[in-house]
C-alpha cells in the first residue's frame, strides 16, 4: 500500500482553491438519478458531475456496486477533466457517504492526491452555478488496482482473528430487523456495528481525530486491523476516511459488502445487536 499522501482525505470549504478539480457525485439509493438533476439545479462553481452508477460502478463483479474496471474508471476521470497532477476534491450532500467511494477508488487506482469536502455541499456558503460544466479531457492514467486495499468474499470469510470487521450500516439493518435492498437480513458473523453517520458531528462534518479514535478503539480497532463493509461497498468508504482520520489506518474495504455476502449460498448469517459504536 502506498504511503499516506500530503493531501486529504478531507478538506474544508475554506481550503478550496481554483486549481482543485472539483467533482460533484451526489446520489441516493431512494433516487439514483436525482443527483444529476440536483447538480444541474445548483453546484459549486467549476464542479463536474460524475455519476456513481454509470461512471464508477462496474457492469460485472461482486455486489450491487461492483468495482469499475481500470479502463472504465480512467475514461470516467478523463471525461471529468482529471489530470495526473491534479488535486481532486469530491463532494456530495450526504455526509461523504458517496464522495468517499470516489475518493477511495481514486486511491485504489493510484491517484493519491484526492480529498472529500468535509461537510459536503451544505458546508459551502458561496454562490452556486447551474447547468453543466464540460471540461477539456484530462490525462489521468489509472494504475492497476491496489489489491491490498480491498477484500473479496473468500478473504473476509478466512480473515485473521486479529482483524476487526465493522458493519457501517444502520443498526436496524445490521441487526436483521429490516433489510430493504438485499436478499437476506442480518450481518457477517462477528462483525461489529458502527453506523457511518456516527462519524459526523451535529454540523455534518467529521468529528475530531481524538473523538473518532475513541469511537473505533472502543470496538477493538488498532492501526491497520480494520475491515469495513456496508450494503454495497459505497458507504464503507466514508468510514475508511474516519478511521484514517483517527490515525488507525490503513483500512481495508470488503468491496462487495453485504450485497455480496448475502448472495452466497450457505454463508453464515448473524442477527441481533450484540455490538455497537
**Residue at which a domain ends, from 114, 145, 176:** 145
Q: What is the pLDDT of residue 1?
A: 46
> Of residues 230, 240, 246, 248, which has the active-site annotation?
230
Task: Write the CB contacts of 206 (distance below 8 Å, at least 6 apart in sequence).
Answer: 10, 96, 118, 199, 200, 212, 241, 242, 245
Grid coordinates 481495508 are at which residue? 252
What's the average model confidence in pLDDT over 81-100? 98
Rounded to whole angstroms, the Cα distance separating 228 from 240 reads: 7
> What's the structural domain count of the chain?
2
Domain residues for the domain of 214 are 148-261
Domain closes at, from 122, 145, 168: 145
The mean predicted confidence, pLDDT, of the chain is 95
pLDDT tens, residue by residue, 106-148: 999 999 999 999 999 999 999 999 999 999 999 999 999 999 9
Distance between CA atoms of residues 129 and 204, nearest Å: 22
Residue 51 pLDDT level (bands cut at 50, 70, 90): very high
Residue 274 has pLDDT above 80, yes or no: no
Which residue is it, cell 451526489? 26
Residues 130, 201, single domain; the answer is no
Assess if residue 249 is contained within a domain. yes
Q: Is 267 part of any domain?
A: no
Could you tell me if residue 273 is inside a domain?
A: no
Active site residue 230: yes
Q: Is residue 257 part of a domain?
A: yes
Average pLDDT in the 49-57 region? 96
The answer to the question of residue 72 being in a domain is yes
Rg (C-alpha) for the chain, rounded Å, is: 18
What CATH number is given to the structural domain containing 16? Answer: 3.40.250.10
pTM above 0.85, yes or no: yes
Distances in whole angstroms, Cα of residue 253 to Cα of each of 73, 232, 238, 241: 18, 11, 10, 11
Angle value at C-alpha 175, between 173 and 179, nearest 5 degrees:
30
177 and 244 part of one domain: yes
The predicted pLDDT at position 2 comes to 47
79 within domain boundaries: yes
Residues 178 and 125 in one domain: no
State whether 127 and 197 are in the same domain: no
pLDDT at 200 over 50: yes
Each residue of 246-261: pLDDT tens digit?
A: 999 999 999 999 999 9
* Partners of 150 in the β-ladder: 253
Query: Does the pLDDT of residue 276 top 60, yes or no?
Result: no
Domain match, 132 and 170 both: no
CA neighbor of 81 nearest in space, from 58, 40, 48, 127: 48
Spatial separation of the C-alpha atoms in residues 9 and 15, rounded to whole Å: 13
Amino acid at each position: 500500500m502506498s504511503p499516506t499522501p500530503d493531501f486529504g482525505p478531507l478538506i474544508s470549504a475554506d481550503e478550496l482553491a481554483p486549481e482543485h478539480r472539483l467533482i460533484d457525485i451526489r446520489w441516493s439509493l431512494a433516487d439514483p438519478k436525482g443527483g444529476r438533476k440536483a447538480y444541474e439545479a445548483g453546484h459549486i462553481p467549476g464542479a463536474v458531475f460524475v455519476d456513481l452508477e454509470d461512471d464508477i460502478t462496474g457492469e460485472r463483479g461482486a455486489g450491487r456496486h461492483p468495482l469499475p474496471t481500470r479502463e472504465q474508471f480512467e475514461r470516467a476521470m478523463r471525461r471529468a477533466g482529471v489530470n495526473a497532477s491534479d488535486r481532486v476534491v469530491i463532494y456530495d450532500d450526504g455526509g461523504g457517504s458517496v464522495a468517499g467511494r470516489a475518493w477511495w477508488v481514486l486511491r485504489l487506482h493510484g491517484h493519491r492526491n484526492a480529498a472529500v469536502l468535509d461537510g459536503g455541499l451544505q458546508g459551502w456558503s458561496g454562490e452556486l452555478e447551474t447547468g453543466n460544466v464540460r471540461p477539456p479531457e484530462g490525462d489521468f492514467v489509472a494504475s492497476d488496482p491496489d489489491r491490498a486495499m480491498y477484500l473479496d468474499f473468500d478473504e473476509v470469510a478466512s480473515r485473521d482473528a486479529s482483524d476487526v470487521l465493522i458493519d457501517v450500516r444502520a443498526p436496524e439493518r445490521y441487526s436483521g430487523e429490516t433489510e430493504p435492498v438485499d436478499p437476506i437480513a442480518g450481518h457477517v458473523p462477528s462483525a461489529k456495528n458502527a453506523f457511518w453517520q456516527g462519524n459526523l458531528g451535529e454540523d455534518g462534518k467529521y468529528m475530531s481525530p481524538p473523538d473518532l479514535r475513541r469511537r473505533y478503539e472502543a470496538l477493538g480497532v488498532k492501526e491497520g486491523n480494520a475491515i469495513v463493509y456496508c450494503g454495497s461497498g459505497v458507504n464503507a468508504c466514508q468510514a475508511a476516511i474516519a478511521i484514517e482520520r483517527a490515525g488507525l489506518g490503513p483500512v481495508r474495504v470488503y468491496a462487495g459488502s453485504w450485497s455480496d455476502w448475502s448472495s452466497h449460498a450457505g454463508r453464515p448469517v448473524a442477527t441481533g445487536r450484540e455490538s455497537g459504536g
